[in-house]
Amino acid sequence: MMRIDSDYALRQLAPWCSAWIAILAGMLAGCGMHDVQPAHHARHYRVVGYDTVKSDIAPQDVGKIDTLIFAFARLVDGEVTLPPADAVHLHRLIALKATHPRLNVVVSVGGWTVDGFSDAASTAASRQRFADSAARLLAANDADGLDVDWEYPGHTEAHIKASAQDRDNFTLLLKDLRTTLDRAGDAHGRHGASHYTLSIAAADGVFVSSIDIPAVEPSLDWLNLMTYDFVNSMTPTTGHHSGLYSSTYAPVGARSTDKAVRQFLAAGVPSQKLLIGVAFYGREFADVQPAHDGLYQAYGHYQGEYSWPRLKTEFINHSGYIRYWDEVSQAPFLWNAATHRFISYDDPQSIAAKAAYVKSHQLGGIMYWEQGEDPQGELLDAVWRGLQPERPE
């Protein structure tokens, strides 16, 4: 609604109407119309889920998702490729758009231990080859965008090749992707809101030391922050693998969702481009030292990971596993005092806390790994409900 400016109206009318104008201005002031502001629209937060297509999504859950990211396309000889069997899986997701036209389906290339990125980004010719192959794949499969999951530029923890030039080359690769996807979008009538999107999966802390965050951000529609796996088989202690804040017992330097967000905001990423990650699975550690109910303690060996349904039916308050809530970290955990086993996971309570955090910091939304770990949609529903606009009293 346009703001009504009674002074402007007075200046435009002839002096002989001043008496009527005075009456009209008084009426407007009495009604408060000159203070009317444009209607406020509640902000929409993205719900983005990675999906390896382990199982079909329940029809009632599809409408809660903004973007499904198919994981994964492969990198073969520097080109983004999709073997026929994987294309069948992708098309199962694409088919959902027939009944849910607002759903976007994005293809992710990469993943943990996937090699070839450093070489593909190393020259202008190899970067263009990567970008052209990605654009062809999206167009051929009627997908809506590309997600790059290079874990991680400049790092070899996943036993992949890395180079001192990865930092600069990653920036150039994303720039070439942005230009190529926009050009391909123009050729296929995808403009404005329907343009091919480009996102990355990004870790935090030292794992982004070889990413020039301010330089890559302009090329991206959003960033999927992998704010999970903070503790895993390669870390020396247990802990919250997807905690919102640092626990009282966490060592200096321990990772958390809040630290990750602050790191990217400090680097200049607009808050609305940041999506924080939620884990639809838990991680178990065995032979754990018993102090603090196993929280941030040394352990004998890493036991494994479990989907949300298995956590519910076999572990949470079952067989000696007691659920605890860390008020500081805003995260649950399980401790089995008899067997000295510890499990870290996300649940509806921690997801609600993360959704509230997204709203209070005006972030872009929530991303989760992975759709098949929550086949009944209980955790997805917690994400969706938590991001709904607040209803007036």
Closest CA to 242 of 389, 367, 129, 141: 367
Catalytic positions are 151
Q: What is the pTM of this model?
A: 0.89
Residue 242 burial (CB < 10 Å; 0-12/13-18/19+)?
buried
Position 34 scores a pLDDT of 32
Position 391 scores a pLDDT of 72
299 vs 277: CA distance, rounded Å: 25
Q: pLDDT 10s digit of each residue in the chain, 393 long? A: 323 333 333 333 333 344 433 433 343 333 333 333 334 458 999 999 999 999 999 999 999 999 999 999 999 999 999 999 999 999 999 999 999 999 999 999 999 999 999 999 999 999 999 999 999 999 999 999 999 999 999 999 999 999 999 999 999 999 999 999 999 999 999 999 999 999 999 999 999 999 999 999 999 999 999 999 999 999 999 999 999 999 999 999 999 999 999 999 999 999 999 999 999 999 999 999 999 999 999 999 999 999 999 999 999 999 999 999 999 999 999 999 999 999 999 999 999 999 999 999 999 999 999 999 999 999 999 999 999 998 765
CA distances from 289 to 38, 233, 292, 295, 338 (A): 59, 16, 9, 9, 12
Could you tell me which residues come within 8 angstroms of residue 218 by beta carbon, excluding any fewer than 6 positions away?
A: none
Residue ranges of domains in the chain, CATH in brackets? 6-35 (no CATH), 46-278+349-386 (3.20.20.80)
Position 387 scores a pLDDT of 98
At residue 294's C-alpha, the angle toward residues 316 and 280, to 5°, is: 40
